[in-house]
Structure 1
Amino acid sequence: MHISGNTIFIPGATSGIGLELALALHAKGNEVIVGGRRAELLAQITAEHPGIHTIRIDTTDADSIRDASSRVIAEHPELNVLIAMAGIMHPEDWTRPEGFLASAEATVTTNLLGPIRLIAAFVEHLRSRPDATIMTVSSGLAFTPLRITPSYNATKAAIHMLSESLRLQLAGTSVTVSELEPPSVATDLMPGQRESAFAMPLDEFITEVVGLIESDPDAREIQVERVKFLRYGEARGDYAETVAALNHLDPHGN
């Protein structure tokens, strides 16, 4: 993905990483369409950031994705980048069956089925563009699990493998597949995450991501330095120690 000259749709970008990335990419000379569920947030974005387009979309709803994608393509036929940003993250206790199933189902619908439906809705249009990108959003937790978020970890691992597989299938077409792999970032994704000393400041994350895209437009995986500890534990041969450090355990999982 080149850093400028694109028309980019980012569903799930009314706050946090999505919104700040949308603003940064707009500032780099891209036309940006932000998608989200809440009409009041979309109106606020339009008012506060002239030039940013918005559209209502619920990425947990197949009909909403179908309707919004048709409208985006009709109103922005130059669209050549899809960034599937929407995601949720909830703690779950799988030792208490009544405490996790609803959360797990919602997480799979939002984090995995949503991006699958979005890509399905846009892939043919993107293939018609001379230079197009699908950007998925996984996580450092796709590679090193956080004990309290099993479904989130699993969906992000699935997004990683989906990205790898789509890249193989789309090889030889005009569409490239890149995977953004955030570490913990200071947003409201989880309660207390914004204030966490472990979380990377949002502005620093966005600055580094934009710099990585600019320096390597063909990057398969977009990794800030902070995520590499989680991403490469297995490759380094210290996976157990990495899991333990993330979860404040001893290396044997206790």
Structure 2
Amino acid sequence: MASFERSDDGRLEPSAALSRTFAKTGRRAWNTHLLWSLMPKCEGARYIYIVRNGDDAVVSFWHHLRNQRGDAGQFDGSLDDFSRRLVNSELPYGPWAVHVADWARALDDPRVLVLRYDKMRADLDGAVREIAAHLDVPFSADCVRHCSFDAMRASESRYEPRSVQWAPGFRFLRHGTSGDGDSALSDDAKRLLREDFHARCDSLPAATKARLLERLSLGDSLEPSDIEQPLLRPRADVVMREIA
């Protein structure tokens, strides 16, 4: 945060030193787990929030934490126990629903682009075009090729967190598909996650909650006990593009 300074009107802007660096190197990108409320808000920045099916996100995070080794620690328990502890804020980064509800307040910010993981998988070309338009950069078909799961897995070391040690045989990029949550989570876990989602979103203004449900294709008539439609939660991949 030392690289940012408050402007006279209270906005957080890049420091003079950081601006000089941007002028030399061009645009910079960050991948972060931060809530929207904690993100530096810069006029020239562009933010991309990637939201994954919530049930799938929970299963993916369970695999992640139970295969960690070393100082990062690991989770040793069932998927049901993991879901319960996640909802109770007993695991790193807190409940997914908190993350979604916080970023929901940015839905109308023109600097923010919200993308759904499953739609990116279904139409990667379209997603890259949408990102390019949001960042005001030319579309590149070569970028689409490099963003495919197969291409990313071929260069897996570029995407693995370097601060974490992994269990032997574990692959950080597991299979890049959707649907794990539907098959792996129990009905009780799905119901718990859904109830938590609705409870967290109830704190939002009615109009914001309605836009969130519409944007994530949840529908505004779902009841907390309805477990047929999986929740959509963030994969915690947020990219901030800072434009000098």
TM-score, normalised on structure 2? 0.30
Bigger radius of gyration, 1 or 2?
Answer: 2
TM-score, normalised on structure 1? 0.30
Greater RCO, 1 or 2 (C-alpha within 8 Å, sep 6+): 2
